[in-house]
Structures are given as C-alpha cells and as structure tokens.
C-alpha cells in the first residue's frame, strides 16, 4: 500500500502542477516550472528525497512535452537542455532542503 501511495504522489503531483501551469501560463511564462518545483517540494516533504527525484524526472518530461516549444514533442534543442538541466538542479536542491527540514 505504501508503494502505491508513493507512486501516486510521484505521478499526480507533477500532473496537478502541469494543470496549474497551463491555467496560469499567462502569468507564469517567464518562470517555467515554478508549479513543478512546488510539487517536488511537497513530494519530498511527504514521501522523501528518492520520491522527489523520481517526481523531478516526471516533471522534466512533462515540461518538455507540454510546455517547452515545440509542444507535444520530445525535441531537445540546446536551449531546452540547458533549461531542463537548470530545472533539475534546482528541483534536486529543493527536494534535498525539504527532506532535511523534515528531519529537524
């Protein structure tokens, strides 16, 4: 049962972040990925660092496929790779800090 809940957090949290990003795209355009960072923070806080790393990978795939142009494709331009790498680094640091604060 625990693994099913963890898997659900890894999939559902980035999915909700995608919906929020799509609804608020007009206001969040310069800050690509901010709802995803919030989702990763929550996954890390409630399910741990390893689950947050998995949620980071799911979020990066969702960002590339649904948000970054060209939409609905996995074409990685050099600029997209830099954006996704920066997102990944920030997400992992966020997850690490969230999991550390859980232990305090």
For the stretch 83-101, pLDDT in tens is 889 999 999 999 999 888 7
Give one word for 48, left, alpha or beta, with left for phi > 0 and alpha for psi -120 to 50. Answer: left
DSSP assignment letter at 65 = I
For the stretch 13-58, pLDDT in tens is 999 999 998 888 777 665 667 899 999 999 999 999 999 999 999 9
Handedness of CA 22, 25, 29, 35 (dihedral sign): negative
């Amino acid at each position: 049962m625990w693994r099913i809940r963890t898997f659900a957090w890894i999939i559902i949290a980035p999915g909700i972040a995608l919906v929020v990003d799509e609804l608020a795209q007009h206001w969040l355009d310069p800050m690509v990925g901010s709802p995803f960072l919030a989702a990763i923070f929550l996954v890390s806080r409630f399910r741990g660092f390893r689950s947050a790393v998995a949620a980071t990978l799911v979020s990066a795939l969702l960002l590339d496929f649904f948000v970054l142009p060209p939409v609905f494709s996995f074409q990685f331009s050099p600029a997209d790779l830099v954006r996704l790498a920066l997102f990944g680094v920030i997400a992992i640091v966020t997850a690490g800090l969230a999991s550390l604060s859980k232990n305090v």
